[in-house]
Amino acid sequence: MTSSFLERIDTLFMNNKYSEVVVFFTENIDKISNQKDKIRTYHFAAKSYYHLGINKEAFDCIQKVINSINEISSTPKEIIEINLDYGKILRRLGQKKKAKKIYQEIIKNYEEYLDDELNAKILHNLANIHLEIGDFDRSKDYYHQALEIDQKTDNLKGQSLSYSGLGSLFFYLGQFEEAIEYYQKSLEFRKKTQDHIGEALILLNIGSSYSNILNQKKADKYLDESLKIFQQYNHDRGIQEVQITRARMNFNLNNYPLVIESLEFLEESEAPILNREQMELVNILIESLIRNEELVRAEKLIERSITPLEKAELEIDSSLYEEYGKLKQLLSLIKFQLDKVEETLQVLEELEEIATNHNDFQSLVVVFFSKANVHYQIDSLDDAMLFAKKAETIAKRIQHSSLPLILDILFRINVRISNFSECIKLLKQLKRISGSDSSTIELAIKSFQIFANEKIKIMSKNSLQEMDRFQLPITILQIIVGGILQQSLKFSEILELKSVTQDLKNNRAGILIPYFLQASFLLDEENSEMDFSNAISENNYVETIYSNVLLKRVSSKELKEIISNWKDQEEFTLHQSLICLDTILYGVLYDLISKENFKLNFLEESITDEYKDIVKIKQELLIKIVDIKKPEDFSYESKTSMGCMVSAIYKNILPKIYEIEGITQEKLKILLVLLSELIIRTLVMLFVR
């Protein structure tokens, strides 16, 4: 019985039928009476479990073999082979130091028995260990040494392993094209040696490489070929690995339903998830369920995945801590989306406690940011500010990558409480962090998206008093334009604004009168209630002219004379230049002057170089506004950096204007003038001054 049994199991193993070896072993191991044959059978079973990726059972079997080596009078070569396999299984279980020690002891104790084939195997296994601990140079050196020996001895199987290892090395380095080249060489040798499971593994690796460069067509081709072989040999772990690779690829391609289809087996498994790889996959599945709006299903999966860890009262060891934290973070996100605010904050409290106990400042930043976001969403702005500030302090200290997000929520909180000065500081910080032109444009758009959707409070006199001559108009424009876009502004608020600003020092109230006037036009209100006496002064010369033109108190002749006098002025500030252009616009709209007056060449000579592009953009915008008949007609394109930002902001704000019911052509032009003023002034404040 024993002889025929060993022949049978040996034949199955040599033909890569590892599942059949395992079944045959399980059914017959207790029938073997000869101890040496029994140990040999355990060795076959250990190697088969290893190839099937069933590591615990592989370890149990090889442990029995190791414990019995001395009892069965093994030859030195048999002892070497057993220890090599023992080392491979230990490495698979993460015990790399112990595995390395075993290989070193083989070299030390059995040097005289090591032939080329065994030396190559040791080198290959050492290469694998150094690859997995990130020592890529030494790993590469060991692979090449092993390959050189195997080429000398014409060991095809050894060459296939070395090429495969080199492929994995380049895969780890993110050099996927090079990885594919080595995997293809390994594939040739796997086919020659009829190593079908090995062939499937290499096909899987090639498919995984293509999936990482998002070449879905080629990835699917190799994954399909791999799956076919794994299914032929009932290789469950291999089938699962194909599903996992597809899931990761589809996740990167945002194909969330396909990710869910690939990873559904994780929901069906009754075994607790207690290793990092499985938990990482669970995180991918959960994120896909969330993005596919299957929140309840995601919530159940998280709670099922977390429970075994918490029941075991684990300290969340270093190998699982990060993934566990992600699960809890996702759970807080889901509960918040399901309007379970109290439960959300409870989960975040638990996360804060765990992160504090581990001195995990990275996670504390995320927790505080999440708390700030929750409190912001429920209008608890004091708490939102408190946690956002905590997140900012730690993020700056440890240079956390989420700092832009934290500054963004601080910006939104300050918009809500109308702390404009702080908003400017925050946006300038974001500008320094963002760096690229595209990020700058996104930042500029973001600032306008927020004010267009947030109700901005009227500020106190003291707050306005702190602002300079450039900041003040931006704040008033934000309140007016934001209120009009939200269709929430009332004339009483305009009067209140004027009242709050009328006693500002240095006659700064006068520069705001044109904005109040245009707001009253938009609201169909008579402006007789406004007192314009404080608008008339030497300091507010251009604003006074602008206000008088708006009120139609200036004749065509007078306006032409005023523009002619401007040409003799030696110097214009940017603020004066912008007001001059707005004055000309209304002169054109009221048929007092022609569009030719927009060509104010003297402005280019009288302002500094840094502002010339800005004045040109303002000119171009106002010329377009003159001829517009409906919102859909308006567009602005530019190739300059500042012009690109203006264009991008308009594209994002115009849909809000489309939503305003019954807006007339006249009101549309007034609103676009105010919007152009706000955009230009804000961008100058953020990116030029």
Task: Render 111-141 in DSSP notation, one character per residue.
Answer: GGG--HHHHHHHHHHHHHHHHHTT-HHHHHH
CA distances, 252 to each of 23, 255, 325 (Å): 38, 8, 21
How big, in percent rounded to 5, are the helix, strand and coil portions of the chain? Answer: 80, 0, 20
Residue 314's pLDDT band (cuts 50, 70, 90): very low
Range from 225-239, 272-286, 452-466 carrying the lowest mean pLDDT: 452-466
Dihedral sign from CA coordinates of 359, 360, 366, 370: negative
The confidence score (pLDDT) of residue 224 equals 94
pLDDT higher for 147 or 13?
147
CA atoms in the 13 A half-sphere facing the CB of 476: 33
Residue 452's region, left for phi above 0, alpha for psi from -120 to 50, else beta, is alpha
CA distances, 314 to each of 56, 349, 469, 501 (Å): 20, 18, 60, 62
Residues with Cβ within 8 Å of 57's Cβ and at least 6 positions away in sequence, in order, are 45, 49
What are the pLDDT digits (tens) for 576-625? Answer: 888 888 999 999 999 999 888 877 666 666 677 778 888 888 888 898 88
| Cα–Cα dist 3/299, whole Å | 55
What are the pLDDT digits (tens) for 407-466? Answer: 888 988 887 776 766 776 787 787 777 655 555 666 666 666 556 665 666 666 666 666
Residue 532's pLDDT band (cuts 50, 70, 90): low
What are the pLDDT digits (tens) for 539-589? Answer: 557 788 888 888 888 899 999 888 888 877 667 788 888 888 899 999 999
Residue 248's pLDDT band (cuts 50, 70, 90): confident
The confidence score (pLDDT) of residue 317 equals 46
What mean pLDDT do residues 223-236 have? 90
Residue 275 has pLDDT above 80, yes or no: no
Single out the residue of 335, 67, 222 nearest to residue 230, CA to CA.
222
Residue 1's pLDDT band (cuts 50, 70, 90): very low
Single out the residue of 536, 523, 545, 519 nearest to residue 678, CA to CA.
519
CA atoms in the 13 A half-sphere facing the CB of 685: 26
Residue 379's region, left for phi above 0, alpha for psi from -120 to 50, else beta, is left
CA distances, 408 to each of 214, 315, 436, 459, 681 (Å): 31, 34, 17, 21, 20
The confidence score (pLDDT) of residue 316 equals 43
Residue 375's pLDDT band (cuts 50, 70, 90): very high
| Cα–Cα dist 391/333, whole Å | 18
DSSP codes of every residue in 489-549:
--HHHHHHHHHHHTT-GGGGGGGGHHHHHHHHHHTT---TT---GGG-SSTTHHHHHHHHH
User: Do residues 62 and 86 lie in contact, with contact meaning Cβ atoms separated by under 8 Å?
Assistant: yes
What are the pLDDT digits (tens) for 102-146? Answer: 888 888 888 888 888 888 888 888 888 888 878 889 989 989 999
The confidence score (pLDDT) of residue 251 equals 86
Largest CA distance in the chain: 120
Rounded to a whole number, what is the distance in angstroms from the first to the last CA of the chain?
Answer: 92
Residue 234's pLDDT band (cuts 50, 70, 90): confident
The confidence score (pLDDT) of residue 458 equals 64
Angle between helix 256-263 and 276-291 (nearest 10): 140
Single out the residue of 362, 369, 278 nearest to residue 327, CA to CA.
278
Share of the chain above pLDDT 70, in %: 84
Amino acid at the residue 392:
E
Residue 187 has pLDDT above 80, yes or no: yes
pLDDT higher for 336 or 528?
336
Q: Encoding tokens for residue 406? A: 């934290």
Range from 262-276, 335-349, 350-364, 492-506 carrying the lowest mean pLDDT: 262-276
Question: Most confidently modeled of 4-8, 349-353, 359-363, 414-418?
Answer: 349-353
User: Do residues 43 and 63 lie in contact, with contact meaning Cβ atoms separated by under 8 Å?
Assistant: no
The confidence score (pLDDT) of residue 73 equals 65
Residue 506 has pLDDT above 60, yes or no: no
CA distances, 281 to each of 261, 265, 314, 519, 565 (Å): 13, 11, 20, 56, 73
Question: Residue 580: how many CB atoms within 10 A of its CB?
Answer: 24
Question: Residue 469: how many CB atoms within 10 A of its CB?
Answer: 12
The confidence score (pLDDT) of residue 300 equals 87
Share of the chain above pLDDT 90, in %: 18
CA atoms in the 13 A half-sphere facing the CB of 619: 17
DSSP codes of every residue in 138-206:
HHHHHHHHHHHHHHHTT-HHHHHHHHHHHHHHHHHTT-HHHHHHHHHHHHHHHHHTT-HHHHHHHHHHH
The confidence score (pLDDT) of residue 315 equals 46
Q: Three-state SS across 611-661?
A: HHHHHHHHHHHHHHHHHCCCHHHCCCCCCCHHHHHHHHHHHHHHHHHHCCC
Range from 122-126, 216-220, 387-391, 605-609 carrying the lowest mean pLDDT: 605-609
